[in-house]
Amino acid sequence: MVAITATNSTTPSLKLALSQARLDQARKEADQADANAKTLRIQADQAQQESEHQQSNVQSLTNQASQAQAIYSASTANTSSAVPVATQEFLVRLYNATSQKFADSGNALKSTPNAPSVLNTQGQTTGRILNISV
């Protein structure tokens, strides 16, 4: 005897339903991965543009610094003093002659207590120079 079994071709099998669900899930994950990849590509392009902009700024600042250095070097290389050399040498000798007296007493004036009186241009006695800082 032949067994008769009822089959219904309109009802999908459980295996087919699971396969379809897995396929849909894989498509969703692939779409999500594509969206993430596009976002990352956009971010990478923006970072590249920012990097190029910053590199341009660095190059510009380097050029400005080298120009400023050249200007500074040129302005300091050819300078001459407004004070003549003879005057400078005189001031150095004057400083050397008086600096020890300033250091000793704080006053470079002659400080001899028994010094003779000072005469003015008319020959009158005007007094003595005294060091009262001692």
Pair 66, 26 in one domain: yes
Pair 65, 94 in one domain: no
Pair 63, 93 in one domain: no
Does 5 reside within a domain? no
Contact in structure between 105 and 134 (CB atoms under 8 Å)? yes
Q: How far apart are CA 37 and CA 116, in angstroms?
A: 104
Report the pLDDT averaged over residues 55-67. 93
Does 134 reside within a domain? no
Q: How far apart are CA 33 and CA 108, in angstroms?
A: 90
Pair 39, 94 in one domain: no
Report the number of distinct structural domains present in the chain.
2
List of residues 6+ apart from 102 with CB closer than 8 A? 108
* 34-56 pLDDT per residue, tens: 999 999 999 999 999 999 999 99
Domain encompassing residue 39: 13-78
Contact in structure between 101 and 121 (CB atoms under 8 Å)? no
Please identify which residue in the block is written with the tokens 């400023």. 68
* 100-133 pLDDT per residue, tens: 666 555 555 555 666 667 777 887 777 666 666 6
63 vs 113, more confident: 63
Does 56 reside within a domain? yes
Checking if the pLDDT of 8 tops 60, the result is no
Pair 90, 56 in one domain: no
Does 38 reside within a domain? yes
Under the banding of pLDDT at 50, 70 and 90, the label for residue 94 is confident
Mean pLDDT taken over the chain: 79
Checking if the pLDDT of 33 tops 90, the result is yes
Q: How far apart are CA 95 and CA 104, in angstroms?
A: 14
Structure tokens at 128: 């003595």
Pair 72, 94 in one domain: no
Pair 73, 94 in one domain: no
